[in-house]
Structure 1
Amino acid sequence: MVRKLSRGVALAASLAVLPLMAACSGGDGSDKASGKETDESSPVAAVVAPAKVEVIAQLTGCKVKIRTEAEELREGVCQTAEGDYLITTFPKDELKEVWLESAAIYGGKYLVGPRWAISAKPDVLEPLKAKVGGTIRDLSQPSAS
């Protein structure tokens, strides 16, 4: 049990760098967002999205590209006109918290829900929050112990 948890912590720590890579990476230059109609833009704001990358991506209006498929987490990259972001889901909230603790080394803000987190530039997080719910957590603030 301890070894399995240690492996999860190690993987989560090594993957903590990924939100920075997603936030800093440029788009691929494609303009496929045009011509997409959505009648229901944000009736979801009162409900927090479930922990599934594809569902969260659909709610935010992006066609996600899965880039990590592991036992401890799944990650997908979204590139939109509003900005790029990384959706990470976890099978347990405990793994999400370990991941967030590891990401705190790099600081930044994250949109967090039950068993998921979205990494993006701060100006992208508020519009995403209106679509999927959750809470914006500022990891650049030292926690009071």
Structure 2
Amino acid sequence: MVRKLPRGAALAVTLAVLPLAAACSGGGEGDKASGKASDESSPVSAVVAPAKVEVIAELTGCEVKIRTEAEELREGVCQTGDGDYLITTFPKDELKEVWLESASMYGGKYLVGPRWAVSAKPDVLKKLKAKVGGTIRDLSQPSAS
């Protein structure tokens, strides 16, 4: 069952869940000692998945369960043999950046594309990157402006 949440409630729910997602994606193997986004190339990384939870889920071999549907974002949970992950999509890139800024207080790594982000353990993110493209962003390191 999909829950429709009021505008502010969706962001509050997401922020409440971020520590759990960050716990799944924190520490462990780093992309580079610098903590910057991974630039590893893969045949698929030139093609980046569109910002639709169901499309990203299908590309990763997941039967997604939508858990949040609001004006600011949609979230779906995937449980696969490779690992569990959360797909979040946004109607505008600006909303994605606000979400990532909020997530940075919890640290961790996220796979990020145009109007979407995926939360998972680092080894799962690497596998997903090969399937949907995007960039792995380490939010535990201060970003260079």
Give the alignment of 1:40-55 within 5 angstroms: 44-55=44-55
1:1-145 matches, within 5 Å, as 11-12=10-11, 14-22=13-21, 44-144=44-144
Opposite residue 101 of structure 1, the aligned amino acid is E
Structure 1 residue 10: Cα displacement: 7.8
- Give the match's secondary structure for 1:86: strand
User: 2: CA distance between counterparts of 1:140 and 1:9?
Assistant: 26
CA–CA separation in structure 2 for the residues paired with 1:113 and 1:52: 11
- Which residue pairs with 1:32 in the alignment? none
CA RMSD of aligned residues (A): 2.4
Give the TM-score, by structure 2 length: 0.75
Q: CA offset at residue 143 of structure 1?
A: 2.6
Q: Distance in 1 between matches of 2:47 and 2:13?
A: 31
Q: Which has the higher contact order (CA 8 A, sep 6+)?
A: 2
Larger radius of gyration: 1
Identity %: 80
Q: How many residues align?
A: 123
* Distance across 1 between alignment mates of 2:101 and 2:7: 13
Q: Can you give the 5+ residue segments of structure 1 that lack an aligned partner in the other structure?
A: 1-6, 26-41
1:111-134 deviation per Cα after TM superposition (whole angstroms, max 9, x unaligned): 000000000011100000000000
Shift, 1:142, TM fit:
1.6
Q: Deviation of residue 11 (structure 1)? A: 4.8
Q: Return the offset for 1:21.
A: 2.6
TM-score, with normalisation over the residues of structure 1?
0.75
Judged with a 3 Å threshold, the aligned counterparts in structure 2 of structure 1 residues 65 and 104 are, in CA distance, closer, same or farther, namely same
